[in-house]
Amino acid sequence: MESHHGETVPAVAVIVVAAGSGTRLGRARPKAFVEIAGRSILERSMDAVSGMSETATVVVVVPDALVADARAALAAAGGAPVIVVPGGDTRQKSVAAGIAVLPEGTGIVLVHDAARAFTPSAVFDRVVSTVRSSGNGAIPGLPVTDTIKSVGDDGVVQATVDRSTLVAVQTPQGFPRAHIVEAYARAAGDFTDDAALVREAGHPVAVVPGDARAFKITTADDLERADDLLRRQGMNQTSIRTGLGVDAHAFDVDAELWLAGLHWPGEAGLAGHSDGDVVAHAICDALLGAAGLGDLGSRFGTSAPELAGAHGDVFLRRTRDILAAAGFTVGNVSVQLVGNRPRFAPRKAEADALLSALLGAPVSVSATTTDGLGFAGRGEGLTAIATALVTLTITA
Ligand SMILES: Nc1ccn([C@@H]2O[C@H](COP(=O)(O)OP(=O)(O)OP(=O)(O)O)[C@@H](O)[C@H]2O)c(=O)n1
Ligand SMILES: C[C@](O)(CO)[C@H](O)COP(=O)(O)O
């Protein structure tokens, strides 16, 4: 996919595997079609996919006998069109059926268990952003909290396993398309997750933070847990707030340029008490404003000697921590840089990845000029305008 500024942004596809029978759940219907409080497990999973920050192609893999029903139900639910295909008799075969119908131009593939019906959309975004910035696979995982034992056939404990290197992995699992296509083409044997195949094919896979709500509905107890979660969500109120931040600095030809947290060798710098990084400063103002927690000036005034010459990442980390301490979660940030130089597009992906990692949420920076108008058009300085979305959950 070609972006406004000419750089290539890999298009994302999500394969939702929903073709399992749900033997361990023990219901008459295949598991993904079992309802929780009036909506099927599959429909609830689709909510998380629709909540992703970027639009993805969605492929849903269902039992052969339910393809027509699923097509009708998903079309009736509205939203973007979904490709529905029949699965196989193992999860791996169902994923392979989804891979076979991926459209041309897909660059990043996420595979998600429909059975993880309450996975927050932020987990999908986190996986996409890590695959995009690293060029390798990424899977969500949680630390193992129980003591783990290996046990012999006789039921007697053999050893205590060191859990410090263990992680319980979830979905969505994301990969560059070439890695997962190669891994499935070479698959020898049946594996329980996609990362295992991709590792077998020799590609690295990173673990990113998972989420307790991404638990897999496997047994009847898990259905009860799902009911409880819905009840608790009904009692919690999430407040969504947006904020706007604007910053401008004049060029200083004797200074080094730091912009969007990056060093730009050979470019004129920006004048200021700190390093003048307008992108970082506008983001901080947008975040603080959204949370009603002041602004850059009141939080990090020019009287603070330790902030003289400070780089943008210092302000971003501090702002992130101020919001987290007050209970806010950053949803996403969008920034537009206004000015003639530097040419931003070649380093957009690098800037987005750095800022997203700093804030733990998707950040997208774009750039534009003013057709020669105003101080930016005359090449006297730079402006950045940022918007931020933050959420605050109040538990009743
Ligand atoms: N042949 C299969 C088996 C599993 N899955 C999907 O893979 C995910 C994870 O599998 P699991 O939870 O183990 O589902 P089931 O195989 O249905 O469960 P069981 O082993 O209890 O039968 C589920 O969303 C399931 O629908 C699939 O698409 N095709
Ligand atoms: C893909 C998976 O959900 C990651 O935890 C898991 O491996 C599926 O395993 P199952 O044996 O099919 O339940």
Q: Is the pLDDT of residue 248 over 80?
A: yes
Q: Tell me the CATH number at 324.
A: 3.30.1330.50
- Asked whether this complex has an ipTM greater than 0.90, the answer is yes
Distance from the CA of 75 to the center of ligand 2, in angstroms?
28
209 and 320, same domain (yes or no): no
Nearest to 281 by CA among 381, 183, 375, 181: 381
Does residue 285 fall inside a structural domain?
Answer: yes
197 and 65, same domain (yes or no): yes
pLDDT at site 6: 45
**53 pairs with which residues across the strands?**
none
Nearest to 284 by CA among 240, 247, 229: 247
pTM above 0.80, yes or no: no
The confidence band for 245, taking pLDDT boundaries of 50, 70 and 90, is very high
Q: Tell me the CATH number at 126.
A: 3.90.550.10
Three-class secondary structure of residue 264 per DSSP? strand
281 is in an annotated binding site: yes
375 is in an annotated binding site: yes
249 and 309, same domain (yes or no): yes
Strands annotated E in the chain: 11-17, 35-36, 39-40, 57-62, 82-86, 106-113, 137-143, 148-151, 157-161, 167-169, 173-176, 205-209, 236-259, 262-270, 328-338, 363-368, 381-395
pLDDT at site 394: 67
The confidence band for 233, taking pLDDT boundaries of 50, 70 and 90, is confident
Q: Is the pLDDT of residue 147 over 60?
A: yes
pLDDT at site 297: 87
Does residue 77 fall inside a structural domain?
Answer: yes
pLDDT tens-digit profile of 150-197? 999 999 999 999 999 999 999 999 999 999 999 999 999 999 999 999
Quote the domain boundaries for residue 323.
238-395
The confidence band for 272, taking pLDDT boundaries of 50, 70 and 90, is confident
Does residue 30 fall inside a structural domain?
Answer: yes
171 and 285, same domain (yes or no): no
For residues 237-264, give the mean pLDDT.
94
Please check whether residue 57 is in contact with residue 11, taking contact to mean a CB–CB distance below 8 angstroms.
yes
193 and 298, same domain (yes or no): no
Distances (CA, A) of 209 to 103, 124, 197, 324: 29, 11, 21, 17
Does residue 227 fall inside a structural domain?
Answer: no
77 CB contacts (<8 Å, ≥6 apart)?
Answer: 43, 46
Q: Is the pLDDT of residue 271 over 70?
A: yes
Q: Is the pLDDT of residue 304 over 90?
A: no
Q: Is the pLDDT of residue 7 over 60?
A: no
Q: Is the CB of 91 under 6 A from ligand 2?
A: yes
311 is in an annotated binding site: no
b/e map of 117-147 (b: 16 or more CB within 10 Å)?
bbbeebbbbbbbbbbbbeebbbbbbbeeeee
Count of domains in the chain? 2
Q: Is the CB of 31 under 6 A from ligand 2?
A: no
Does residue 391 fall inside a structural domain?
Answer: yes
Distance from the CA of 270 to the center of ligand 2, in angstroms?
51
Among all bound ligands, the one having the nearest atom to the CA of 170 is 2
Ligand 2, atom 1, lies closest to the CA of 193
pLDDT tens-digit profile of 96-146? 999 999 999 999 999 999 999 999 999 999 999 999 999 999 999 999 999
Please check whether residue 360 is in contact with residue 330, taking contact to mean a CB–CB distance below 8 angstroms.
yes
The confidence band for 273, taking pLDDT boundaries of 50, 70 and 90, is confident
Name the residue of 14, 15, 16, 17 to mutate for ligand 1: max ligand atoms within 8 A of Cβ.
17
- The atom number, within ligand 1, closest to the CA of 24 reads 21
Q: Is the pLDDT of residue 2 over 60?
A: no
Nearest to 323 by CA among 237, 389, 277: 389
Distance from the CA of 198 to the center of ligand 2, in angstroms?
15
Q: Is the CB of 193 under 6 A from ligand 2?
A: yes
Q: Is the pLDDT of residue 4 over 70?
A: no
pLDDT at site 319: 96
Q: Which of 218, 249, 280 is the last residue of a domain?
A: 218
Distance from the CA of 173 to the center of ligand 2, in angstroms?
11
Ligand 2, atom 9, lies closest to the CA of 192
97 and 194, same domain (yes or no): yes
CA 127 – CA 112 distance, rounded (Å): 11
Please check whether residue 8 is in contact with residue 78, taking contact to mean a CB–CB distance below 8 angstroms.
no
- Other beta carbons within 10 angstroms of residue 326's beta carbon come to 12
356 and 213, same domain (yes or no): no
- The atom number, within ligand 1, closest to the CA of 62 reads 28
pLDDT tens-digit profile of 342-378? 999 999 999 999 999 999 999 999 999 999 999 999 9
Q: Is the CB of 20 under 6 A from ligand 1?
A: yes
Q: Is the pLDDT of residue 396 over 70?
A: no
The confidence band for 9, taking pLDDT boundaries of 50, 70 and 90, is very low
pLDDT tens-digit profile of 33-56? 999 988 899 999 998 998 898 889
Burial class (CB in 10 A: 0-12, 13-18, 19+), 107: middle
Q: Is the pLDDT of residue 8 over 70?
A: no
Average pLDDT, the chain: 92
Please check whether residue 333 is in contact with residue 387, taking contact to mean a CB–CB distance below 8 angstroms.
yes
End-to-end CA distance of the chain: 44
Q: Is the CB of 44 under 6 A from ligand 1?
A: no
Output the CA torsion sign for 320, 322, 323, 324.
Answer: positive
The confidence band for 305, taking pLDDT boundaries of 50, 70 and 90, is confident
316 and 282, same domain (yes or no): yes
Does residue 355 fall inside a structural domain?
Answer: yes
65 and 112, same domain (yes or no): yes
270 and 348, same domain (yes or no): yes
Strands annotated E in 260-380: 262-270, 328-338, 363-368
Express as a percent the part of the chain with pLDDT over 90: 82
For residues 214-243, give the mean pLDDT.
89
Does residue 101 fall inside a structural domain?
Answer: yes
200 and 247, same domain (yes or no): no
For residues 377-393, give the mean pLDDT.
95
Does residue 356 fall inside a structural domain?
Answer: yes
Rg of the chain (C-alpha set)? 24
The confidence band for 277, taking pLDDT boundaries of 50, 70 and 90, is very high
- The atom number, within ligand 2, closest to the CA of 168 reads 5
Q: Is the CB of 171 under 6 A from ligand 2?
A: yes
CA 339 – CA 356 distance, rounded (Å): 22
194 and 277, same domain (yes or no): no
Q: Is the CB of 92 under 6 A from ligand 2?
A: no
Distance from the CA of 193 to the center of ligand 2, in angstroms?
6
Express as a percent the part of the chain with pLDDT over 70: 96
Q: Is the pLDDT of residue 387 over 80?
A: yes
